[in-house]
């Protein structure tokens, strides 16, 4: 177990290469909001750097962050704030699972790679620091989607609300 | 005969996917249609057979990670049917060529037989792409 304060999700520079097909919904299965997030991540792609302990990885809004937003990141953050374990899974620009297990005021963070036997690293972080990092990143990305006209402020606030709603989280109670 | 060669089942208490009761949001996806955004979105967009080689090579270089491309979109429908009806991660060996893998150094491996798949808690596929046998 490594004790560390390096748990960062940082929105980086624009990424101007489009290496995927544009988002489409030929069967009309997605909501306006779901398509808007896909279009934003594709048309306004950015690099995202993630630093956990001594591990540094780079992912992109499209598809990596788009996929964790589709996994309902705000609800995941809410679960974590309520003391429940969550898993953030990246499989496109890297192959990495981030398992976060809260215990009192600490969070155990296990990095592992599916399909690669034996690769696992475990870190421990301050719980409030992890929650604030994830909330801050979520807020920043979704605000950019608002600023660029893909979603409304109301849609953003509705989407991110669960991440800030937990009454059991000391970080929220102190505000 | 295809074979599951690696699996990490997340929830074995609820069966999900095609042929099971739909528990996700809205209407059930069209499992048998490879264009179903709800069931297979990122598979088609980022690993579909219509992508051009330079797009896969570009992603492999920029991410410094292998990028797999399916030869036939019907195969991700078959993959959905073959993997267990539980949310989790799987590597399936079709034991026939199903894709190409583009490597960060610019080389290519053809006639790839394996694919890595993740099934969401609602049964849809989160990702799925050809990979080299580890």
What pLDDT digit, counting tens, does each position of A111-159 carry? Answer: 998 665 668 899 999 999 999 999 999 999 999 999 999 999 999 999 9
- Could A17 and B58 be called an inter-chain contact, meaning their C-beta atoms sit closer than 8 Å? yes
State the CATH number of the domain containing residue B59. 3.10.130
The CATH number that applies at residue A62 is 3.30.2450
DSSP 3-state of A139: helix
Q: Which of B8, B29, B50 faces A114 most closely, judged by CB atoms?
A: B8
Q: What is the mean pLDDT of residues B9-35?
A: 94
The stretch B69-91 carries a mean pLDDT of 97
CA distance linking residue B4 with residue B40, whole number of Å: 20
Chain B residues 62-91 with a CB less than 8 Å from chain A: 62-63, 65, 89, 91
At residue A115, the pLDDT reads: 61
Confidence (pLDDT) at A5: 72
Structural domain includes residue B93 = yes
Residue A113: the pLDDT is: 80
Question: Which range of residues forms the domain containing residue A54?
Answer: 2-14+30-166
Q: What is the DSSP letter of A148?
A: T
Q: Check pLDDT > 90 for residue A98.
A: yes
Place of tokens 């199903």: B98
Percent of chain B with pLDDT over 90: 90
| Out of B35, B56, B127, closest to residue A26 by CB | B35
CA–CA distance, A9 with A67 (Å, rounded to integer): 15
Say whether the peptide bond before residue A63 is cis (omega within 30 degrees of 0): yes
- Domain extent, residue B69, equals 3-17+33-131
pLDDT recorded at residue A170: 52
Domain count within chain B = 1
**pLDDT(A174) > 50:** no
Longest dimension (CA), chain A: 48
Domain membership flag for residue A106? yes
A148 contacts: CB under 8 Å, gap ≥ 6: A40, A44
Residue B24 lies in a domain: no
- Number of structural domains (chain A) is 1
The per-residue pLDDT of chain A, averaged, comes to: 90
- Band of the pLDDT at A165, cuts 50, 70, 90? confident
3-state secondary structure of A99: strand
Q: Is residue B99 part of a domain?
A: yes
pLDDT in tens, A16-25: 988 898 999 9
Residue A154 CB contacts under 8 Å (≥ 6 apart), including other chains:
none
Q: Whole-angstrom Cα distance, residue B112 to residue A100? A: 34
The count of CB pairs under 8 A between chains A and B is 85
Backbone phi, then psi, for A159, in 5-degree steps? -70, -45
Report the gap between the CA of A94 and the closest CA in chain B (Å).
Answer: 6
Other Cβ atoms closer than 10 A to A149: 9
pLDDT of residue A173: 44
Domain for residue A56, yes or no?
yes
Query: pLDDT digits over A28-62, tens only?
Result: 999 999 999 999 999 999 999 999 999 999 999 99
Q: Which of 25-64 (A) contact B at CB < 8 A? A: 25-27, 29-31, 38, 58-60, 63
């Amino acid at each position: 177990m490594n004790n560390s304060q390096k748990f960062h999700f940082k929105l980086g520079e624009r990424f101007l290469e489009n290496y995927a097909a544009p988002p489409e919904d030929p069967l009309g299965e997605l909501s306006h909001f779901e398509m808007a997030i896909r279009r934003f991540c594709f048309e306004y792609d950015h690099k995202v750097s993630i630093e956990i302990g001594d591990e540094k990885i780079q992912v992109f809004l499209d598809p990596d962050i788009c996929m964790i937003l589709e996994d309902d990141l705000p609800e995941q953050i809410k679960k974590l704030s309520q003391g429940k374990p969550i898993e953030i899974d990246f499989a496109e620009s890297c192959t990495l699972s981030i398992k976060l297990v809260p215990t009192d005021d600490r969070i155990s963070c296990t990095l592992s790679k599916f399909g690669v036997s034996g690769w696992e690293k475990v870190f421990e972080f301050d719980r409030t620091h992890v929650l604030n990092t994830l909330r801050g990143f979520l807020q920043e990305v979704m605000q950019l989607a608002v600023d660029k006209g893909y979603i409304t402020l109301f849609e953003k606030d509705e989407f991110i609300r669960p991440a800030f709603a937990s009454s059991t989280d000391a970080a929220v109670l102190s505000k | 005969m295809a074979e599951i060669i690696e699996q990490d089942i997340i929830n074995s208490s609820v069966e999900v996917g095609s042929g099971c009761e739909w528990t996700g949001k809205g209407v059930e996806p069209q499992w048998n249609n490879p264009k179903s955004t709800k069931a297979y979105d990122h598979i088609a967009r980022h690993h579909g057979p219509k992508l051009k080689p330079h797009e896969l090579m570009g992603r492999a270089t920029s991410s410094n990670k292998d990028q797999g491309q399916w030869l036939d979109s019907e195969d991700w429908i078959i993959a959905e049917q073959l993997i267990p009806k539980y949310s989790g991660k799987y590597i399936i060996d079709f034991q026939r060529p199903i894709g190409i893998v583009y490597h960060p150094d610019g080389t290519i491996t053809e006639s790839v037989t394996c694919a890595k798949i993740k099934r969401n808690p609602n049964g849809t596929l989160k990702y799925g792409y050809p990979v080299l046998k580890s």
